[in-house]
Amino acid sequence: MSEQRIKAVQMFSQEEIFRAIAYGALKARAGRLAPGEIFNIGEFELIVAEDENGEGIVVQIIETLSKMESLVLAKVRLQDMAIESRSDHEQRDWMAAFWKDLAQYLDKWQNIKMRLGPGEHITFEKAVSR
């Protein structure tokens, strides 16, 4: 992981969306919300669902990939990381590596799972119960 990308990942992991999902997991646990329920925290819509194995409950936020990429680029621009000066190919490679690094960082430090999809979206989820 490049030092520049590490810094970008650390900064981005503090965004409101990740605080919302952490609070949403607590709210879902305390409210004993069932799969299929939807609620809002701030501007984010959270979905209560079963985990991939059907063994527990998670909360999910699904956002468009383009919206999340715009947020990343805005953060990077604020830190003068000069991503825009790179070629389109280099920018795509940097963004792909960024998502991979962010997924590892969120999983390790915030217990948030991240995956690309469905379609042109990105899904973040945090366990409510197992």
Q: pLDDT digit string (tens) for 17-28?
A: 999 999 999 999
**86 has a pLDDT exceeding 80:** no
Structural domains of the chain, count: 1
Q: pLDDT digit string (tens) for 37-63?
A: 999 999 999 999 998 888 889 999 999
**Structural domain of 117:** 3-129
Give residue 54's Cα distance to chain centre: 21
Sheet architecture: strand order including 112-116: 38-41, 44-50, 57-64, 121-129, 112-116
CB atoms inside a 10 Å sphere around CB 41 = 18
User: Is the CB of residue 123 less than 8 Å from the CB of residue 114?
Assistant: yes
Identify the bridge partners of residue 58 per DSSP, sorted by sequence position: 49, 127
Tell me how far CA of residue 26 lies from CA of 8, 16, 97, 107, in angstroms.
27, 16, 30, 17
Q: pLDDT digit string (tens) for 2-15?
A: 787 888 899 899 99
CB atoms inside a 10 Å sphere around CB 83 = 19
What CA–CA distance (Å, rounded) separates 13 from 71?
11
| CATH code, 71 | 3.30.1460
What CA–CA distance (Å, rounded) separates 21 from 61?
7
